[in-house]
Amino acid sequence: MSDASLSTLAARLAGKQISSRELAQTYLDRITALNPSINAFITVDAEKTLLEAAAADALIAAGSAGPLTGVPIAHKDIFCTDGWLTTCGSKMLGNFVAPYDAHVIQRFKAAGMPSLGKTNMDEFAMGSSNETSYFGAVKNPWNAAYVPGGSSGGAAACVAARMAPAATGTDTGGSIRQPAALCGITGLKPTYGLVSRYGMIAFASSLDQAGPMAPSAEDCALLLNVMTGFDPSDSTSLDREKEDYTRDLNKPLAGLRVGLPKEFFAEGLNNEVAAAVEAAVNDLKKLGAIPVEISLANSRLAIPVYYVLAPAEASSNLSRFDGVRYGYRAPAYGSLDDMYCKTRAQGFGAEVKRRIMIGAYVLSHGYYDAYYLQAQKIRRLIADDFSEAFKSCDVILGPTTPGTAFKLGEKSDDPVEMYLNDLYTIPANLAGLPGMSLPCGFDGKGLPIGLQLVGNYFSEAKMLNVAHQYQRATDWHSRQPEGLK
């Protein structure tokens, strides 16, 4: 049952072949068995999950079910969830029980999808390996000695290990796509503003975007149908007509122009990753796609631009965590200022402190013009490169990451080396474009390789079509880690 797609699970529920309670219990049992070794979940509450599943069964019995009613899902612990511990992977929120639901959580509750729990993540979504979590590192289900990627590493790992049929994630600089690539699943970051950020604990507000993570593109399309929609509570939410993201899944790819950025196939790309991506290009050619060489000349500047802008926004967003209103407070202090200092020193981890300090520096008097404003100008140039590229192609294709998963602790002492893992994913965030990762092979160590697709604004249906047709022609997305079946 844990191998089934979302559409298969939904059909079995609708046909009364299984109840939502039975399905939820199947996954809860799997979480109990596997989570101690993978550490994908921070919070699991079987009682809450089974109550939600019983409510879904009642909807099905009454004939009021939606397309995914009764199918359970896991949520990244960055989404406020009423009555659930919502930690953002940090000691700072280690005791915070959210009093309301994020818009994304509201959408899934309205769809009748029970929550299996809250997944582990890099602290405040800052990291590329899921090693910065206060609750311990997540292990890659393909090899527990390796990282699952981050910051949505818990979500990716739980889906790869089939502890959940799907999960929500967030992507600020690649945090859905990079862990999806390292764990061998499919993950999609929508166009900025397509999914509400209300109730999603902010890292960098102009970059953060929620999206689905699941084994296949078809699953992601079904989840995106639930997640999207205008939200008046979010000033960046886009008020546009609702789409059915499954509508183009079965369209042929004949004549599709696939852009291959020459900058993504240059120095620094692992040979095995390059070979797998090249093989995927050949598979798409057999399906009728036409490769087109393009240039994203300013993409080489994406990492320095990101690590000016994202920390700047983070330093502002994280100023609210002061020990006064909610969350952790230092147990001993001499004054209000002392409480602020000790609370933040004790509550935040090293990577979060590093980014707050960088952000405060680039926003300070005398450096704002030299760093922050210059980064914003280059951000515009990066977006312009994409706009020019889409004049000659329909989607852009390349590797999701320069290499495959690395060993736990291997890059912990070298932040810059860690940041380079997001080399190919960050440009789409800076431009606000949709991007997705799907499995396209394995390296010599048996670790998954990810293929990235980037589309023009609001072209999620086209990207999902390309991914679905590729997945119909290959079986990389259906493979699972040995020993976890």
| Cross-strand pairs, 146 | 407
Exposure string of 234-243, with b = 16+ CB inside 10 Å and e = fewer, is: beebbeeeee
Sign (positive/negative) of CA torsion 98, 95, 412, 410? negative
Q: No. of H helices and E strands in the chain?
A: 15, 11
Active site (annotated) includes residue 412 = no
- Cβ neighbors of 280 (< 8 A, separation 6 or more) are 397, 440, 441, 451, 470, 474
Active site (annotated) includes residue 437 = no
Catalytic residue among 19, 20, 76, 315: 76
Catalytic residue among 20, 115, 133, 151: 151
Exposure string of 119-128, with b = 16+ CB inside 10 Å and e = fewer, is: bbbbbbbbbb
Token pair belonging to 450: 């990810």
Residues 441 and 475 sit within 8 Å (Cβ to Cβ)? no
Distance CA 180, CA 195 (A): 19
Which of 315, 295, 311, 318 is closest to 427 using CA atoms? 295
Distance CA 275, CA 290 (A): 18
Distance CA 165, CA 161 (A): 9
Active site (annotated) includes residue 295 = no
Catalytic residue among 19, 175, 196, 437: 175
Residues 125 and 172 sit within 8 Å (Cβ to Cβ)? yes
Residues 161 and 80 sit within 8 Å (Cβ to Cβ)? no
Respond yes or no on whether the N-terminal peptide bond of residue 151 is cis (omega within 30° of 0).
yes
Phi, psi at residue 217, to the nearest 5°? -65, -40
Phi, psi at residue 393, to the nearest 5°? -150, 165
Residues 91 and 344 sit within 8 Å (Cβ to Cβ)? no
* Residues involved in catalysis: 76, 151, 175
